[in-house]
Amino acid sequence: MALETDFIVIGSGIAGLRAAIELARTGARVTVLTKDRTDESNTEYAQGGIAVALSEEDEVGLHEEDTLNAGAGLCDAAAVRVMVEDGPRYIQELIDWGTEFDREGGRLTFTQEAAHSRRRILHAHGDSTGKEIVRALISRARAEREIAFVAHAATESLLMMDGRVRGVRYLDPLVRAPRELRSRAVILASGGAGQVFLHTTNPQVATGDGMAMAYAAGAELADMEFIQFHPTALNIEGAPRFLLSEAMRGEGGILRNREGERFMARYHERAELAPRDIVSRSIVAEMQRTATRTVYLDMTALEPRFVRHRFPNIYETCLRYELDITTDPLPVSPASHYCMGGVRTDLDGRATLPGLYAAGEVACTGVHGANRLASNSLLEGLVFGARAGRAAAAEEGRVNDRFEAHDAAMEDEKQLSSGVRASGDVALAVRKRVRRLMWERVGILRSRESIRRALLEFEQISRAPLALASRNFLNVATLIARSALWREESRGAHFRTDFPARDDEYWRVHSIVRTGADISSSAELDFNSVIDDK
């Protein structure tokens, strides 16, 4: 007999934890499944902070305007308004729950980041904001008796019954065997897919599983072509691409080429504070111009004590590679960082499949448009995680608590197949090949020829017997590539060398992908909008 709970939350980052807390407030049983340890998520690695209009010099309207400008014409205005208006009260809630944001003289301190018109970024312990938020949320969630955490439980697929999502199939962490868990509804908060690229700032768990599972079950995904590449990841041979926060440039860090020349002013009037997509492409252009594989982030003009205090984690990490950020220029280059696209949702986290909700990076609310404004991701996860939890609790209470009467139907419709259990060597080889193809062919600079070459290889790989985890990984990469091939313009984080101009007349639309259908377009992310095939 399958296990039962009221609600399943997949993921324990800011969106998943906030959704679980909201669900538990109703007295519902909530099971949180995590692929790794409970506190391992993209949220934990968020250094720069969380954007919110709370300072005396700021306004919600200015935050809204900056977000819309960064999104390159594709932000959903209603979603942006919800995020910036609801954000302050949810931040205050975090503070009430013990989150220790940095202060001076008892007052919250705010910093500046690229494309923000005001200093509105809250940070904690200098550059450990995400880690501090996760700590506070886990503490709050553990105080709810109805929330159960199951760590090291890799979810493989969604279970369907009568056209509804009614649970998941996951690998039991104790016996490493498949197990089913049934529920009223599932809230996806599984994060992004940065690991499908060779160079990424994301942790190993960010493989796009939630997107792949939702797609396989029949949910619609949107805007998968928009992948944000962070401009400044530590570029040392043999070392992980450790993120060097946007806030380092916000505090006065300078980008220099191998000759020591400051170069960003040649590419954009805001220089180092230009939007991330522009900085990333500028770095690539400068590396090509100077025939090098790196540029340098220079913090040496800043007061050393301030730098060590403001960026303690970055300072200590760089010291392990014999780099002192107060005296040494840091070798950097871009790396994949954030997925603007994902599972298509409305303003309350509802996906296009009944019984399925999504929040955080796995979801596409339209908040980020074609290019995420720095430090908006944590705020989006916080706000929409709470909204998804609230909506699921209110709406799915109508679903029966017990499942025994539906066992036969469940057996007919659930997704049991995990594919052939490929060897670890095969799975690793597939992942390595996909990651390299995505970086080289579907990366910062793309073209019809490069994307098609990647898709041809993906098709060949797909013919091999693959375990479900490998197939999910390949499917997410394929969806990103297909969407990038479909959009014949350059917009935000998506840059086509064969279509370098932005085309608002024809392409100011969202891409929509779903199983068994060609890519279609929608002027709105609202489910009731008309979707016309291109």
* Residue 360 phi, psi dihedral angles, 5° rounding: 85, -155
Alpha-carbon Rg of the chain, whole angstroms? 22
Task: Give me the residue label for tokens 């950097």.
Answer: 332
What are 332's two structure tokens?
């950097």
Among residues 120, 164, 276, 514, the one annotated as catalytic is 276
Q: Do 63 and 53 touch, CB atoms closer than 8 A?
A: yes
3-state secondary structure of 528: coil
Asked if residue 140 lies in contact with residue 18, where contact means CB atoms within 8 angstroms, the answer is: no
Which of these, 190, 161, 149, lies nearest to 32 by C-alpha position? 149
Amino acid identity, position 324: D
Residue (of 120, 114, 122) closest to 69 by Cα position: 114
Q: Cα(first)–Cα(last) distance of the chain, in Å?
A: 46
For residue 120, indicate whether it is catalytic.
no
φ/ψ of 238, rounded to 5, equals 85, -5
Structure tokens at 104: 């001076």
193 in Cβ contact with 209 (< 8 Å)? no
CA distance 328 to 197: 28
Tell me which residue of 195, 249, 204, 250 sits closest to 227, measured CA to CA. 195
* Alpha carbon distance 445, 424 (integer Å): 32
Residue at 304: amino acid letter: P
User: Which H or E run contains 133?
Assistant: helix 129-142
Helices (H), 349-494: 377-395, 407-413, 424-441, 448-462, 468-486
Residue 104 burial by CB count (10 A; 0-12/13-18/19+): exposed, middle or buried?
exposed
Distance (Å, rounded) from C-alpha 100 to C-alpha 117? 25
CA distance 151 to 30: 14
Q: How many residues does the chain have?
A: 534
**CB neighbour list of residue 252: distance below 8 Å, 6 or more residues apart:** 299, 301, 302
Contact 35, 195 (CB under 8 A): no
Which active-site residues does the annotation give? 276
